[in-house]
Amino acid sequence: MIELRDVRKSFDGVEILHGISTKFEAGKINLVIGSSGHGKSVMMKCMVGLLKPTSGNVFYDGRDFTNLEYGELRDVRKEIGMLFQGTALFDSLTVEENVEFTLKMFTKMTPAERRDRVNYCLEQVDMVGINDKFPVEISGGMQKRVGIARAIALNIKYLFCDEPNSGLDPVTSRLIDELLQRITEQFEITTIINTHDMKTVFDIGDDVIFIYKGNNEWTGPVKDIVHADNETLKKFIKASQFD
Amino acid sequence: MNFFTEFGKYLLFLKGMFSKPEKLGVYVDRTITEMNNIGIGSLAIVVIIAIFQGAVTTLQIAYQLISPLIAKPVIGSVVSDSSMLELAPTITCLVLAGKVGSHIASEIGSMKMSEQIDALEVMGINSSGYLALPKIIAGLIMIPMLVIISIFLSNVGGILAGEASGILTSEEFIQGARESFIPFNLVFSLIKAFTYAFIITTVSCFMGYTAEGGALEVGASSTKAVVYSAVAILFSDYLLAQILL
**pLDDT score of B1:** 63
Q: What is the pTM of this model?
A: 0.88
B116, B118, B124: residue with CB nearest A74: B124
pLDDT at res. A236: 87
Q: How many helices (H) and strands (E) does chain A have?
A: 8, 10
State the span(s) of chain A assigned CATH 3.40.50.300: 2-79+157-240
Q: What is the pLDDT of residues B45-66, one digit of tens each?
A: 999 999 999 999 999 999 988 7
Cβ atoms of residues B122 and B18 within 8 Å: no
Mean pLDDT of B198-215: 94
The mean per-residue pLDDT over the stretch A151-166 comes to 91
- Cα gap B84→B87, rounded to integer Å: 7
**Contacting residues of B for A78, CB less than 8 Å apart:** 123-124
pLDDT in tens, B96-114: 999 999 999 999 999 999 9
pLDDT tens digits along A63-115:
999 888 878 888 898 899 999 988 899 999 999 999 999 999 999 999 999 99
Query: What pLDDT score does B142 carry?
Result: 97
Q: Which fold is adopted by the domain A2-79+157-240?
A: Rossmann fold (3.40.50)
Backbone φ and ψ for B195, nearest 5 degrees, come out as: -60, -45
| Model confidence band, residue A243 (pLDDT cutoffs 50, 70, 90) | very low
Give the minimum alpha-carbon distance from A90 to chain B in angstroms, rounded to a whole number.
6
Our CA-based measurement puts residue B146 at a distance from the nearest CA of chain A, in whole angstroms, of: 26
Does the structure show a pLDDT above 90 at B43? yes
3-state helix, strand, coil in chain A (%, to 5): 40, 25, 35
Instruction: Round to whole Å and give the CA distance between B59 and B167.
Output: 8
Q: What is the pLDDT of residue B245?
A: 82
The DSSP secondary-structure symbol of A225 reads S
Tens digits of residue pLDDT in B116-144: 999 999 998 999 999 999 999 999 999 99
Is B46 within 8 Å of B100 (Cβ atoms)? no
Name chain B contacts of A77, Cβ cutoff 8 Å.
Answer: 122-124
The tens digit of pLDDT for each residue in A13-49 reads 899 999 999 999 888 899 999 988 899 999 999 999 9
Interface predicted TM-score (ipTM) of this complex, two decimals: 0.89
Q: Is B68 on the interface with A (CB under 8 A)?
A: no
The average confidence (pLDDT) of chain A is 90
CB atoms within 10 A of CB B14: 17
Q: Residue A241 has what pLDDT?
A: 63
Q: How distant, in Å, are the alpha carbons of B52, B152, B208 from that of A228?
A: 78, 79, 47
Task: Find residues 120-149 of chain B whose CB sits inside 8 Å of chain A.
Answer: 121-125
Enumerate the domain spans of chain B: 23-244
Using a CB–CB cutoff of 8 Å, tell me whether A136 touches chain B. no
